[in-house]
Structure 1
Amino acid sequence: VMDCDTTGIEPDFALVKFKKLAGGGYFKIINRAVPDALRALGYREADIAEIEAYAVGHGSMKQAPGINPGSLRAKGFSDDKIEAIEKGLKSAFDIKFVFNKWTLGEDFLTGTLKVPAEKLSDMSFELLPFLGFSKAEIEAANVHVCGAMTLEGAPHLKTEHYNVFDCANPCGRIGKRYLSVESHIRMMAAAQPFISGAISKTINMPNDATVEDCKSAYMLSWKLALKANALYRDGSKLSQPLNSALISDEDEEADDAIETLVAAPMAARAAQISEKIVERIVERIERKREREKMPDRRTGYIQKATVGGHKVYVHTGEYSDGRLGEIFIDMHKEGAAFRAMMNNFAIAVSLGLQYGVPLEEYVEAFTFTRFEPSGFV
């Protein structure tokens, strides 16, 4: 909004980000200070364009190594199917998300490419390995099309200039460099004497940060007399506004570690989880979550509100321990269709609550959504 490249006097979260659009969808952006920095370092415009394309991707497989129109034609792809793939690549996070039955059609996959019909409904099925492309070929094409999301390894960029573009987190799948947590804290400590209150800045820690790293960060903050320290470990929330990397699906070592963790006793499992702050699902529960029905006699309350001049009544039902278990929404003036829609929305939320969906998830999902009727509450 303010044409700023970072959110304040702090290092950037990542050079390339996926930004969520208010109307749905995402688009990929690179920090606009990158081209200016490269010019200041003496790089030519043609070199800058290639470096930027390396980071964000070309959005096309026409010149891609390994997987390109020529290699796809050799596998049986027609020109119209290649064109359909090209259209999908412009906004793709990963090329494997474009090679699917929705882009190519089930008839083409089963008829021309001889993909077994049962494979099309298998969520783990990937078309490119099935067609004989190696992991290295897929990764090389992916970097060309979707970008490396880092400047490490970019053409023409000198190694001694890498530190100019270091960020708060390792960038992309292949990025290794990042600014230390200590550098964030010492930067804040330099500014703290000139600020009466605490500094509103989040220190972004990499995905592999440990409990000890967090302890050390807070201890250093205390020693340097900071009034606050907000730590955030990349990927530790269900959703976050900016993502710097896509986690690879083929992390075999991590999968092996999960199997070992699941086989361990409960006490040992808890110790390992608390120590490593793992965020994967480490316990596989085979049975479905059962519905916790509401008691026949229940407590609750009625909340009256006015939204844009329309009266709204929210009725709640609670479990014996005070947890919310159901809601009913009544509109004073709206027509039958809208009132029925609100009633069914309330029923859907109530069923989710009774099947164990946390209330906070609904709040986070629907906060800042807007539709008529709307206005002051």
Structure 2
Amino acid sequence: PETGRITASNPCSEYMSLDNSSCNLASLNLLKFLKDDDTFDGPLFAKAVELIITAMDISICFADFPTEAIGKTTVDYRQLGIGYANLGALLMAMGLGYDSDGGRSMAATITSLMTGTSYKRSAELAAVVGPYAGYARNAAAHQRVMRKHQAANDTVRTLHVTDRQVHQLATQAWADVIELGASNGFRNAQASVLAPTGTIGFMMDCDTTGIEPDFSLVKFKKLVGGGSMQIVNQTIPRALRKLGYQPEQVEAIVAYIAEHGHVVDAPGLKSEHYEIFDTAMGARSLKPMGHVRMMAAAQPFLSGAISKTVNLPETATVEEIEEVYLQSWKLGLKATAIYRDNCKVGQPLADGGGKAKKDAADAADALTAAAEEATKVVEKIVYAPTRKRLPKSRTSRTTSFTVGGAEGYMTSGAHDDGELGEIFLKLGKQGSTLAGVMDAFSIAVSIGLQYGVPLETYVSKFTNLRFEPAGLTDDPDVRMSQSIMDYIFRRLALDYLSYEKRAALGIYSAEERQRYLETGSYEPVEETGSPAELIDAPVVEIVEDAHAEPVVTHDTHGSDQREVPAEPAKTAHTSAELLEQITGHAVDSPLCFTCGTKMRPAGSCYVCEGCGSTSGCS
């Protein structure tokens, strides 16, 4: 806090720290630490955290960063973000409900052990290689936060043997943190966050991501040879065995879940065990505050924040969403995100379909007792492109051309309104590969034109394509071409597009380019005034002399004469200055002497974006 404020979070909302900084993330699969007796292996988890934190800190020294400022802040403060995934599956396997005091207690003790062990190792590293560069000015604040973590750990109320064992390890870790930190400082300004783990969760074969509960009990697995198979969450059988159900009962319950997608009325399953199998969506979905309370259980033991979605049903109201944010603030959460089911046309996950969705719909109908609505017939309008065929007899134009020594012929046909409708290209000998390719290309472009593809779209795509043959042409309007395609579509643009459309694409005729040299404008100049007025207009002769002597000017009637100083003779150094002498006024950018395209400034020179030629430097 002595260095800067928290301005914003990253897009996933778990990282909140200084501007121009970054966080090195790593997450552990909690289910890997569940022993055969379905208790959590706290010592092994703490050992893994120590190893991962050490590796994460070392990796900062070898990392590359997008900007120098981000790199400096990251190296100076060395923020780490250790976290975990598969919490929902872990709690289910242990027979604990996600929205229960036992589930929240287990999550709190695991999170406390993780962050406490991380800061303990950070203090041990500081004793060897020194604390982070910004620790001196933030030492008091850092130690105050450590004491707050320790105080929060002391308030956790354990409910069973497993979370009590983990809590004892966490308590000892925080005592070591306070002691070692006071003498050594800390190597890292931040240690832990809870990331979404959406991608790495799949790589670690997790049933659930981050701190999330299971989305649904039934999933679909894609097969290598194609197709998919419906499978039940693999944690469910383990949870049922933990709860004391016999193998035949487990088999029957799993089969029921596979068919219906939920546990309601599953054969032999006790109703008090329903909460263990609650999911984010489905017939027994978690209440929104269940998500918020779980986040509140873990937040006091995290350096950063939590990336998590509070799932709400499609019927959620504005007031219910407001209450979620209000309670999140009261419970001390740093970040909260909500998602209302079906609020988008397409969403990445949905609860089980088929019978499961039908059962959920039937249950909703029974609760609301809504009257059946009359069947409505909705007319679906499908817009499809229509082909505008050319008349049997149409106007056509045949152009012979030469590009880089290669000769060819182009025949273009137009509709009655003058719009281009087809082209035929003849290059190479009949039967050759080139002739066949050009025939196929002509057919493709012609069909596209008849189905409404604008000619300017083709022109913008195919002009400036560069391949052989290329070079000089025999067309006065297109003197240079980068390829046959470049020439063909420039010629078509000149023949069939309006001046405005061609100008937008930077394609001009030889006459228009000449006009630009003379007048500074491609557009025709409209003469104003009557012929008599033009005849009577005074003619002024301007003579430039290097000595700048006064020059007498006269009009044709001899009615007026005055002296004006002559300017020194101009010498052109660049193409722009040459055009200025020719036209009599300044030109922003000259035309390319190679292909005729308008050039752009590049230092004291000009470069052509069409062919790459340069004007030469002054």
- Name the TM-score, length of structure 1 as normaliser: 0.41
Higher relative contact order (CA 8 A, sep 6+): 1
